[in-house]
């Protein structure tokens, strides 16, 4: 496994791999790797000859007062984990390597960010699309793997790839969970034991919503208010949003359709957690 820190070297390596006839899969991450990240890597390996991962805590996707400085980092542990799943190249640049003092370009997707996390994190998705576009130009992948845990991110990146005619296949991987249902996340490290117990309210909400739908509920606001009560019954929680929406446009849905995205963002103590599922009407 090769660890590359410069853009030039990564581009040369990707070019070499391509010219030797290899297909490249990339898994962009912010590091502090967990089983969810490793699952993306395994999927990448199935679909391509060589797997490149990127580890970069991208400053431009964090807003003022967010956790850029505190974001957990463990480069040594990450390299061991990457090696264990057969990663070929790890691209691990410093912030100054990705954003020089002269940097002044931003990639913006117009409408999809005006929903869900985009409303509470202004500018976040511009940061994401800009860095992912850069990482695509640097690692030159044939395909790229993202987690459905960050549903809106996957939607925004898929849109960017289509709109800018990038010749890259995007693959979404279902959310990997702890045995008790908590979605794996690098930010789970911030949770105290009591907060960790309360954080289960996210997955409980997803399950409760599907049960309500199975029992015939069709009104989004009924589901939202039931979930609001459920989440509020857990200590340390503060709801950012509970949203039922169209899985493609992310526009709010008043009524449940065949498929409706349920997306949640809940602060548990100081930690903002997200989760989602697509609710489906039973056959
Ligand atoms: P991050 O390091 O949080 O930026 O995540 C890097 C990639 O891993 C993104 O595509 C995430 O959606 C994905 N990811 C994070 N957590 C999970 C999870 N629990 N299951 C599946 N994918 C995940």
In a structure prediction context, what are the per-residue pLDDT tens digits for the chain, which is 283 residues long? 999 999 999 999 999 999 999 999 999 999 999 999 999 999 999 999 999 999 999 999 999 999 999 999 999 999 999 999 999 999 999 999 999 999 999 999 999 999 999 999 999 999 999 999 999 999 999 999 999 999 999 999 999 999 999 999 999 999 999 999 999 999 999 999 999 999 999 999 999 999 999 999 999 999 999 999 999 999 999 999 999 999 999 999 999 999 999 999 999 999 999 999 999 998 7
Atom of ligand 1 nearest to the CA of 185: 16
Q: Is ligand 1 within 6 A of the CB of residue 184?
A: yes
d(CA 276, CA 2): 35
pTM: 0.98
Q: Is ligand 1 within 6 A of the CB of residue 36?
A: yes
Q: Are 233 and 223 in contact (CB under 8 A)?
A: no
Q: Distance, CA 26 to ligand 1 centroid (Å)? A: 13
């Amino acid at each position: 496994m090769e660890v590359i820190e410069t853009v030039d070297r990564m581009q040369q390596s990707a070019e070499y791999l391509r010219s030797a006839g290899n297909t490249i899969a990339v898994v962009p991450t912010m590091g502090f790797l967990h089983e969810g990240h490793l699952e993306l890597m395994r999927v990448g390996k199935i679909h391509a000859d060589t797997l490149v991962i990127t580890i970069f805590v991208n400053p431009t996707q964090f807003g003022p007062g967010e956790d850029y400085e505190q974001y957990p980092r463990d480069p040594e542990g990450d390299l061991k984990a990457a090696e264990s799943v057969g990663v070929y190249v790890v691209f691990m640049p410093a912030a100054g390597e990705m954003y020089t003092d002269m940097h002044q370009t931003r990639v913006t997707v117009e409408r999809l960010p005006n929903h869900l996390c985009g409303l509470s994190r202004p500018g976040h998705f511009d940061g994401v699309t800009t860095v992912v576009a850069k990482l695509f130009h640097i690692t030159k992948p044939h395909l790229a793997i993202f987690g459905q845990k960050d549903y809106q991110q996957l939607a925004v990146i898929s849109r960017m790839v289509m709109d800018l005619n990038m010749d890259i296949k995007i693959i979404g991987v279902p959310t990997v969970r702890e045995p008790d249902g908590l979605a794996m996340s690098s930010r789970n490290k911030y949770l105290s034991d009591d907060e960790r117990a309360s954080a289960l309210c996210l997955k409980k909400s997803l399950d409760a919503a599907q049960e309500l739908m199975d029992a015939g509920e069709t009104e989004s606001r009924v589901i939202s208010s039931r979930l609001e009560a459920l989440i509020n019954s857990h200590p340390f929680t503060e709801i950012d949003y509970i949203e039922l929406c169209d899985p493609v446009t992310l526009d709010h849905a008043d009524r449940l359709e065949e498929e409706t995205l349920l997306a949640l963002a809940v602060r548990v103590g100081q930690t903002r957690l997200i989760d989602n599922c697509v609710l489906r009407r039973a056959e």
